[in-house]
Amino acid sequence: MPQLYATSDLHVTHRGNSDHLDAIRPTTASDWLIVAGDVAERVGVVVDTLATLRERFAKVVWVPGNHELWTTPADPVRARGEARYDELVRRCRAVDVLTPEDDYPVWRYAERPLTVAPLFLLYDYSWRTPCAHGRAVEEALRQAREAGVVCTDEYYLHPQPYRSRQEWCARRLRLTEKRLAEIPADHGTVLVSHWPLHRHPTAPLRHPEFAMWCGTEETADWHVRFRAELAVYGHLHIPRTTYADGVRFEEVSLGYPREWRRRAGGAVPLRRVL
């Protein structure tokens, strides 16, 4: 029986992480792999890594994380914002890796067909701490800076051609919601995103201010509305299984070496989710 595996936040350019790529292998020739973002910061490294994984798995489904969208001095690809995302999509298609812009594949090895939907949604700063609730975004960001929390996205994740990351997020939400609504009613779904769709996974964050860069209130009910059997995500580097409204949420991140070395089970670069 084919199996569906998932991984995220491989951060392969961090010393020690690339060693775990060899462990990301299928059990059968028909197995699929979900890669839920943050492979690396450089476009070439991202695509080469995905191409390697595609050689091993029957199908690879990828969504971008914030690190793929960074435009850093070390990357010869200078595209920013949506143009950078479009370049990643173009190169992924060239190595036969599915993206959020492609037709959603269907997993047929469950009690009902499951449409595997890779989602690129970003965030809109709506996951606030109580003291920032109802305040302007600028005030919420000021409070986060005072707490010593500033996501690197503020320097490297550019929203062009949109005026802000919130505007880009709103655009992605509209496009994605329309596509999800077109999934056949007799299908369940596997919703794949880099940022969690529901806020509950952010509860263990050491710095609750960081939740602003982790998702949006607009997707709080998507796992119910769109009949999710499973929601797969990364970003938080807190790999675990949780539930919301009876739906299973799986964080499948490897994380940084300083994180996985502290875990009792060590590094877990691959998880079977179905």
pLDDT digits (tens, 9 = 90+) for 228-251: 999 999 999 999 999 999 999 999
pLDDT in tens, 185-211: 999 999 999 999 999 999 999 999 999
pLDDT of 17: 96
User: What gap in Å lies between CA 183 and CA 168, rounded to an integer?
Assistant: 24
End-to-end CA distance of the chain: 10
pLDDT band at 168 (very low <50, low <70, confident <90, very high): very high
Task: Find out whether 255 and 11 touch, Cβ atoms under 8 Å.
Answer: yes
User: What gap in Å lies between CA 191 and CA 81, rounded to an integer?
Assistant: 23
pLDDT of 260: 95
User: What gap in Å lies between CA 205 and CA 208, rounded to an integer?
Assistant: 6
User: What gap in Å lies between CA 173 and CA 53, rounded to an integer?
Assistant: 29
106-107 and 4-7 beta bridge pairing:
unpaired
DSSP code, position 13: T
Q: How far from 210 is each of 165, 199, 215, 226, CA to CA, in Å?
A: 15, 12, 10, 27
C-alpha angle 114-119-124 in degrees, rounded to nearest 5 = 140
- Residue 122, classed as helix, strand or coil, is coil
pLDDT in tens, 15-32: 999 999 999 999 999 999
- Residue 180, classed as helix, strand or coil, is helix
**Among all chains, which residue has been given the structure tokens 């200078």?**
78
Of 1.10.10.10, 1.20.120.1200, 3.90.950.10, 3.60.21.10, the CATH number of 4-272 is 3.60.21.10
C-alpha angle 259-263-264 in degrees, rounded to nearest 5 = 165
What percent of the chain is helix, strand and coil (3-state, nearest 5)? 35, 15, 50
pLDDT in tens, 45-74: 999 999 999 999 999 999 999 999 999 999
Q: How far from 76 is each of 66, 94, 156, CA to CA, in Å?
A: 18, 19, 14
Q: How far from 7 is each of 77, 131, 160, 243, 265, CA to CA, in Å?
A: 25, 34, 29, 19, 16
106-107 and 114-119 beta bridge pairing:
antiparallel
Q: Can you tell me the mean pLDDT for 79-103?
A: 98
pLDDT of 174: 98
pLDDT of 78: 97
Task: Find out whether 53 and 12 touch, Cβ atoms under 8 Å.
Answer: no
